[in-house]
Structure 1
Amino acid sequence: MEEASVPNKSKACKLPQKRFYRQRAHSNPIADHTFDYPAHPDEFDWSQLYPNIGNNQVEFADVGCGYGGFLVTLSELFPDKFAIGFEIRVKVSDYVMDRIDALRKLHPNQYQNIACLRTNAMKYLPNYFKKGQLSKMCFLYPDPHFKRSKHKWRIINTALLTEYAYCLREGGILYTITDVKDLHEWMVHHLEKHSLFERIVGDELDSDPVVEKLYETSEEGQKVTRNKGDKFVAVFRRIKS
């Protein structure tokens, strides 16, 4: 759905335009960016992002949410669940925040369950989430870091998977999609080797409503489609310790 074409909405509020938020495609996750982050999940006030969250908890995390297309889809698919998008790039995260703010104004009582934070998820994820808090984690078109010397920067690796397993509850789902076959094979290899994840295939995968949305709802996915590129999906379940 292209929100900009919604009719009969106030001219005082318009969706932001990406051309004013352009930034290089990737960011160095190891660089010493300056971030404010809580020392412990209990110290973070989620109500500043979700006015109606009450005693609920954020359950979905879109890591590296880009321009927020998939995050918006999660809001529509699961209106009773709270989802957070993490994005390390300044202008891109600013766009997502402005987009959500505009959507909330254009559609009262909708999109109250999504938000975006600028942070480095490779470093600070456990500062935001308690053990077993999340039921879904999504990694859509992560930076492939093609050079072998930079493979350690990839968002899926052995050490980080242990952190993701800590944040995911038993039975929680981790979704990946990429247009880079080498990266897909890397992610599958590391997830299959990890003792706390098992791959989901067959009918269970086909019946998951999130899976079909992985392909086209993100801006990066739409770009890959325009360029007639391949898309590789792998989905894993967090199993008992």
Structure 2
Amino acid sequence: MASTEAHAGDKRPADSIEALEAKLPQKRHYRQRAHANPFSDHHLEYPAYMDWSPYFPKHFAPKHASAGSEEGGVTQDSGKKVEFADIGCGYGGLLIALATVFPDKLMLGMEIRVKVEEYVNQKILALRQNHPGQYENASIIRMNAMKFLPNFFEKHQLSKMFFLFPDPHFKKRKHKARIITPTLLAEYAYVLRPGGIIYTISDVKDLHLWMVKHLDEHPLFARIPDEELKDDPAVEHVINATEEGKKVERNKGDKFLACYRRLEDA
């Protein structure tokens, strides 16, 4: 793949250098430990009003700036809202896959690890440059989904939420840190619209059973039969697109999938 770096003494016109493909980031430069403590202070920001223009510049006008002041941006919002949220998105495999499957849907990855978030962001920016008009609907933000999720989404804004291969937190005393709990499900039900879907998958059977138990017990979620999932274009990528899913596949491990539909409010 061609380099985008202009070296000293390069005689090519500047515009031809800029036209070269952007290099995709190399994952080996962004490695970080697999999990982070969600209860630690990670110095994250939780805005009272979310400005989406830095994340989706083709869909949101920059706030607190004169119209058209940002190159490549828009002068007014497209009217779209983020609809898909990949919680703990890791290295962004699902986001990248779904961006072209659902080109009209805005989707956001949420990742707490600094280097991993930086990697996904750089990859999305490179893909946007290399494929004009594509991947403008995908972005990532560094945040802790267990804290202040409603700061980012309105009531019933989301149509899909993904919880793919989350940290199992094996020790019983750490089960409170699992991403699916009765308390957190109340928040997910708030931001997920009726008819929306929660996707869960794990290679750890104990965690799978934990998630199924709590989702089964929640009055606002109902499990979707496996036969019905065959017609869902997102399911194939939920199973196979993530780095963790590919690792499980290479090791010939099991994958336990469970999807739930958000019911109407009583």
TM-score calculated relative to the size of structure 2: 0.85
Tell me which of 37, 43, 52 is aligned to 1:46. Answer: 52
Q: Is 2:83 the counterpart of 1:77? A: no
Cα deviations across residues 102-136 of structure 1 (Å, max 9, x unaligned)? 10011111000000000001102110000000000
Conserved? CA contact 2:21–2:129, under 8 Å: no
| Contact 1:172–1:237 under 8 Å retained in 2 | yes
Q: Number of residue pairs matched?
A: 232
Contact 1:63 1:121 (C-alpha < 8 Å) held by counterparts: yes
> Among 58, 65, 68, which residue is 2:82 paired with?
58
Using the TM superposition, give the Cα deviation of residue 202 of structure 1 relative to its aligned residue in structure 2, in angstroms. Answer: 3.7
Alignment deviations for residues 13-72 of structure 1 (CA, whole Å, 9 cap, x no partner): 110000000000000001111011212xxx111122101222210000000000001011
Equivalent residue number for residue 22 of structure 2: 13
Look up the match of 2:152.
Answer: 128
- Aligned partner of 1:44: which letter? M
Q: Secondary structure, in 3 states, of the residue corresponding to 1:122?
A: coil
Distance in 1 (alpha carbons) for counterparts of 2:34 and 2:131? 30
Instruction: Describe the superposition over 1:177-196 as per-residue Cα deviations: whole angstroms up to 9, x where unpaired.
Output: 11000000000000000000
Hey, what does 1:143 align to over in structure 2?
A: 167
Aligned-pair CA distance for 1:138: 0.4
Matched AA of 2:221: F
> Following superposition of structure 1 onto structure 2, how do residues 70-219 of structure 1 map, counting pairs within 5 Å?
70-219=94-243
Secondary structure of 1:44's counterpart equals coil
One-letter amino acid of the structure 2 residue matched with residue 225 of structure 1: E
The reply to whether residue 28 of structure 1 matches residue 37 of structure 2 is yes
Q: CA deviation at 1:10?
A: 5.6
Partner amino acid for 1:69?
Answer: G
**Equivalent residues of 2:103, 2:137 under 8 A apart:** yes
Work out whether residues 129 and 167 of structure 1, in 8 Å CA contact, stay in contact via their aligned partners in 2: yes
Dislocated runs of 4+, deviation >3 Å: 9-12
Identity, % of aligned positions = 59
Work out whether residues 163 and 200 of structure 2, in 8 Å CA contact, stay in contact via their aligned partners in 1. Answer: yes
The structure with the largest helix share of the pair is 1
Q: What is the one-letter code of the residue matched to 1:73?
A: A
Letter in 1 for 2:256: F
SS across alignment from 1:48? coil
Following the alignment from structure 1 to structure 2, what is the Cα–Cα distance between the partners of residues 239 and 12? 45
Quick one: distance in 1 between partners of 2:32 and 2:256? 25
Whole-angstrom CA distance in 2 between matches of 1:57 and 1:12: 30
Contact 1:10 1:106 in 2 (8 A): no
- Once residues 229 and 24 of structure 1 are traced to their aligned partners in structure 2, the CA distance between those partners, rounded to angstroms, is 21
1:225 aligns with 2:249: yes
Amino acid of the structure 1 residue aligned with 2:233: P
Q: In 2, distance between residues paired with 1:101 and 1:212?
A: 25
Amino acid at match of 2:54: Q
More divergent stretch after superposition (43-52 vs 109-118): 43-52
| Higher alpha-carbon Rg | 2
Q: CA RMSD in A?
A: 1.4
